[in-house]
Amino acid sequence: MAEEQQQQGRGDTSRRQGDRYLLSSDDIRTFHTNGYVHLKGVLSEEEMCELEKEFMAFLRREVPVEGRDFCDMSADYTKPVESFSIINIMLPSKYNPQLKGNIYEKRAASISEQLLGPDMVVDYDQLLSKPPNKPDAEFKWHQDLAYWPVTADTRTASFWLAIDNSTVENGCVQFVPGSHLEKSLRHHGPLHGDRDKSHTLAATLTTSDLPKPAELNRGDATVHHERILHGSGGNFSSDSWRRAWVMAYRSKTTVDEERRMGFTHSHNDNLTVLNSVGRETQVSS
């Protein structure tokens, strides 16, 4: 059954054209209407195997990662590594520069161009893993834009590539369709009361919010808007990891502005800015 699911997850292979992945008009409409789109078979199984090797080198700590860029997004910074529930590795292409220009990055670039225009560049990348039997591996509801400094152009195509089949049982991402169209961001508070104790922010859903799970096969990806509410539940599977490779594309103007501020999306950054809801906040991202 798993093999059949993986074959189905390859999608229409004709969409993969060398470094490009071709979107349909429905894909583009769905992204702008719902705030996210599910794309099947963005990478082939052979391509996934190559990326997975690089991913596992980070999980095995074979690639040194500085400070809080290797952390647990479900807990504060005092939790021991061996007990991590959401293993978060920021900026893998910084710590292993050979990852830059990989096939995933190139396909994502082609997709972001089709969705948002030709001026999109990589802002950051990130590896996320939920080991089996981690019911506390909840990624709290949030909007990505709440984590970032204010910029004039917030356009973002955030990619979530499934390294494993991603299901409700093992903690797949869930989205609130259409929430990106709200005029204001939701209120976000630090999960542990202090951003210096934990990077994680959390928003609260209302009774009218209707989350939708995004169950993906290995090699599938979702692409989402910077303002859409999303989160994920714990991993209740006894044998299934839930690993994902995140990559965010934003306008070159915005990325250049962030860097001038000293903001790199590293959890080791320390910068006071006005956040997207107009309040001064200490950012460690």
The model's pLDDT over 35-81, given as tens digits with 9 standing for 90+, comes to: 999 999 999 999 999 999 999 999 999 999 999 999 999 888 888 99
pLDDT value for 78: 86
Cα end-to-end span (Å), the chain: 39
**Chain segment 144-159, per-residue pLDDT in tens:** 999 999 899 999 999 9
Residue appearing with tokens 């955030």: 158
User: What are the extents of the domains in the chain?
Assistant: 2-283
pLDDT at 26: 98
Mean pLDDT confidence for 90-112: 98
- Residue 186: what pLDDT? 95
Please check the confidence at residue 249 and state whether its pLDDT lies above 60. yes
Closest to 111 (Cα-Cα) out of 159, 41, 176, 170: 159
Label residue 200 by pLDDT band (50, 70, 90). Answer: confident
Can you say whether residue 56 is alpha, beta or left, with left for phi > 0 and alpha for psi between -120 and 50 degrees?
A: alpha
Task: Identify the pLDDT of residue 10.
Answer: 52
Structure tokens that stand for 258 in this block: 């962030």
Give the pLDDT band (50/70/90) at residue 197. low
- Tabulate helix, strand, coil % of the chain (nearest 5): 30, 25, 45
Tell me what pLDDT residue 195 has: 64
pLDDT for the residue 119: 98
- Strand duo 212-213 + 201-202: pairing: unpaired
Instruction: Label residue 29 by pLDDT band (50, 70, 90).
Output: very high
Share of the chain above pLDDT 70, in %: 88
Mean pLDDT of the chain: 90
Average pLDDT over residues 238-258: 98
Do residues 37 and 121 touch, judged by C-beta distance below 8 A?
A: no
- In one-letter notation, the amino acid at residue 187 is H
In this model, does residue 101 exceed pLDDT 60?
Answer: yes
pLDDT over 90 at 229, yes or no: yes
pLDDT at residue 276, rounded to an integer: 44
- Find the range with the poorest average confidence among 96-110, 121-135, 195-209, 243-257: 195-209
| pLDDT at residue 12, rounded to an integer | 73
Helix (H, G, I), strand (E, B) or coil at 230: strand
Please tell me the CATH code under which domain 2-283 is placed: 2.60.120.620
Nearest-Å Rg of the Cα atoms of the chain is 18
